[in-house]
Structure 1
Amino acid sequence: MAQKALFAVVLGAVSAAAHGFVETITVNGKTYDNYNPSTFPYNPSPPVVPGWTADFPDLGFVEPAATGDPDIICHRSATNGGSHIPVAAGDTLTLKWSPWPESHKGPIIDYLANCNGDCTTVDKTALRFFKIAEQGLLDAASSNWAADELIAAGEVWEVTIPTDIAAGSYVLRHEIIALHSGGQPNGAQFYPQCINLEISGGGSASPSGVAGTSLYTETDPGVLFNIYTATEYPIPGPPLYNAAKKTRRHAKDVRAC
């Protein structure tokens, strides 16, 4: 009984400080649970999931000062997901976030990295990420951001795998950057989520990428950024992979990135 009471107190504290995480991933009619930072740390036998484990029971963030640290790759002290989700090139994944605060406006960005082997054991610092999707400031007049679209869709976001990507084992790095305090140094908040995918079909494209620790710096214009005076927004990170640009023009990418 005391253990249950303690668990309730922990969950209450987490809820009070909550920001968010991806709860589930759905593709081809099947839904997969993701790593749950609110409950898994307190479960002696947590389920094996494709999402990477990370140390953020407060549902907190990675700060800009850590953009050169391994924590930025897949969240704080992240370790490999224990399984993978089978998808085909061209498939669309539906990511369901926990409730996201309306104040936490900012871009949503998606990357892939080829594990060149088993994603359940790959060294995260060896992963090289290429950007497959991005959405930032959608309407300056109404201050409508990608994160606002996420909320309007019921905390749902869609990500389409490029059709020409070579088959293999990949990590999907899906991320919201909250910019409500981004106008001050070290004020932006990164919420990276990593999920193992096994991609089939597709073509032979193997885009080059960059290390997760080289995606951003804390002074990038899209990281150190005042959303309250914005008329346009430079989305941070490397440029979109070319095939992703083509997909983006033809898909419903306000929610499909």
Structure 2
Amino acid sequence: MKLSTLLAASIAASSVGASPAPVEKRHYTFPALTGSSDWQYVRQTTNYQSNSGLADVTSDQIRCYQAGTTGAKASQIVAAGSSVGFKASPNIFHPGPLQFYMAKVPSGEDAATWDGKGQVWFKIYTEKPTSSGGQLSWASLNKGTVSVTIPKSVPSGDYLLRVEHIALHMASAVGGAQFYISCAQVKVTGGGSGSPSPLVSFPGAYSSSDPGIKINIYSGATSYTPPGPPVWQG
């Protein structure tokens, strides 16, 4: 028997019973509002099995990263001025900012089927970094839950609440930033008479070359400009 044949047989034999490659643990999803089951109030995302991030900011997936067209099973009732939390599964593994947006479901539409298209989204929170030694860092790193306060003056009604974490560990090149997104369905009660603005669309709000999306956070960075509109101060 030739030596090459013997080597091939040896390699094949040694692979029998070998453990499978480890599952990627460095990606994550936001599958649930805290205190609820996965995908009960949160629309199931395309990465619900792979946990992988989204890189293309021009894709319709940048809106809710939604799998299919079916919404969540129900809407969570939340009071204006109260805090709403999302579970990260597993913990947020990469450095980058956390942002939250809301979009009011139009009259005559259903929160479970509305697609969130158009200039309907307003930002209610963006996480600021700290800078040390020319590197940027964010407190959301390694968090298992994240939360946001629903503005007191937001009008009552049905909304999509969008959580977004932008992983910037590979963002020095165009297309290197990774977006981890989920949309929850919430019914806001006890709201006010505010007029949220500015309103943006997804896709449309971001460009792959935005300074908050294409950035080297490890080499000389001292400040950060988050992508998207300013936070509504309602």
**TM-score using structure 2 length:** 0.81
What are the equivalent positions in structure 2 for 1:223-234 lying under 5 Å apart? Answer: 223-229=213-219, 230-234=221-225
Aligned residue for 2:78? Answer: 87
Cα deviation, residue 150, structure 1: 4.4
Structure 2 gaps of 5+ residues are: 1-19
- Is 2:54 aligned against 1:98? no
% same residue: 32
- State the 1:133 CA deviation: 0.3
Question: Which of 196, 203, 211 is equivalent to 2:185?
Answer: 196
- 4+ aligned runs moved over 6 Å, structure 1: none
Contact 1:140 1:232 in 2 (8 A): no
Q: Secondary structure at the match of 1:110?
A: strand
State the shift of 1:50 in Å. 1.4
Residue by residue over 1:63-98, the C-alpha shift from the partner in whole angstroms, topping out at 9 and shown as x without a partner, is 1xx212211001154532231100010010122212
CA distance in structure 2 between the partners assigned to 1:18 and 1:118 by the alignment: 35
- Deviation per CA, 1:219-240: give whole Å up to 9, x if none: 1010001011211111111111
Inter-partner Cα distance in structure 2 for 1:76 and 1:68: 15
Amino acid at match of 1:207: P
Tell whether 2:11 aligns with 1:19.
Answer: no
Matches of 1:226 and 1:142 in 2, distance apart? 10
Instruction: Tell me the secondary structure at the aligned position of residue 175 of structure 2.
Output: coil
Check conservation: 1:52, 1:78, Cα contact below 8 A: no
RMSD between aligned residues: 2.2
Describe the shift of the 1:210–1:140 C-alpha distance in structure 2 as closer, same or farther (beyond 3 A): same
Tell me how far apart the structure 1 counterparts of residues 22 and 159 of structure 2 sit (CA, whole Å): 31
Alignment partner, residue 32 of structure 1:
36
Greater displacement, 166-175 / 135-144: 135-144
CA distance in 2, matches of 1:144, 1:85: 35
The structure carrying a bigger helix percent of its residues is: 1
Is the CA contact (8 Å cut-off) linking 2:97 and 2:140 kept in structure 1? no
